[in-house]
Amino acid sequence: MKTNLLNELGENLSELTYSVIIEKEKEGKYKATIWGLADCQATGNTKEAALTNINQLLTARLKNAEIVVQEMALPKSENPWVKFAGMYKDNPLFNDMVSEMEAYRSEVDAEMEEYYQKIDAEDDNK
């Protein structure tokens, strides 16, 4: 796991972009919640007041906080289907099965082609 403090990276922290959910409450007031921070909520008589209040709340919260970025390598897992790959390569019936599958697919394709031609003919007659 790798952790970087943003101020160590020399990044400019003068602006922060965040999403806010604004909901109208029954009393006619508006509630603003920062997306992903359910405990960061503010209310106001108007949408603008709720947004101003949530901005002030977040500014106060971040005043004595640090923003860090963490990178973590995901564990490498084997695809579960890999253990089945090639398991029938020495089976003498495998080629027969593949031929049967190809024949069935051709049959289904022919049926679908006939169906589509029928639909197109009906559309042409309209």
Q: What is the tens place of the pLDDT at every residue in 48-66? A: 999 999 999 998 988 888 8
pLDDT of residue 76: 82
- The pTM assigned to this predicted structure is 0.48
If asked whether residues 9 and 50 sit together in one domain, one would say yes
Residue 76 in domain: no
- Give residue 36's region: left, alpha or beta (phi > 0; psi -120 to 50): left
Domain around 89 = 82-125
Q: What is the average pLDDT across 98-118?
A: 95
Using CA atoms of 104, 105, 106, 112 in order, give the dihedral in degrees to the nearest 10: 110
Query: Do 44 and 56 touch, CB atoms closer than 8 A?
Result: no
14: pLDDT strictly greater than 80: no
In a domain, 44, yes or no: yes
Same domain, 89 and 35: no
pLDDT score, position 11: 53
Domain CATH number, residue 57: 3.30.160
Asked whether residue 92 falls in the same domain as residue 57, the answer is no
Query: What does the CA dihedral 47, 50, 56, 59 come to, rounded to 10 degrees?
Result: -80
Q: How far is CA 88 from the centre of its chain?
A: 37
Whether the predicted pLDDT of 9 surpasses 80: no
Same domain flag for 67 and 87: no
Please check whether residues 64 and 6 belong to one and the same domain: yes
Say how many domains are in the chain. 2
Q: What are phi and psi of 116, to 5 degrees?
A: -65, -35
Mean pLDDT of the region 14-35: 89
Q: Is residue 77 part of a domain?
A: no
Q: 62 with 9, same domain?
A: yes
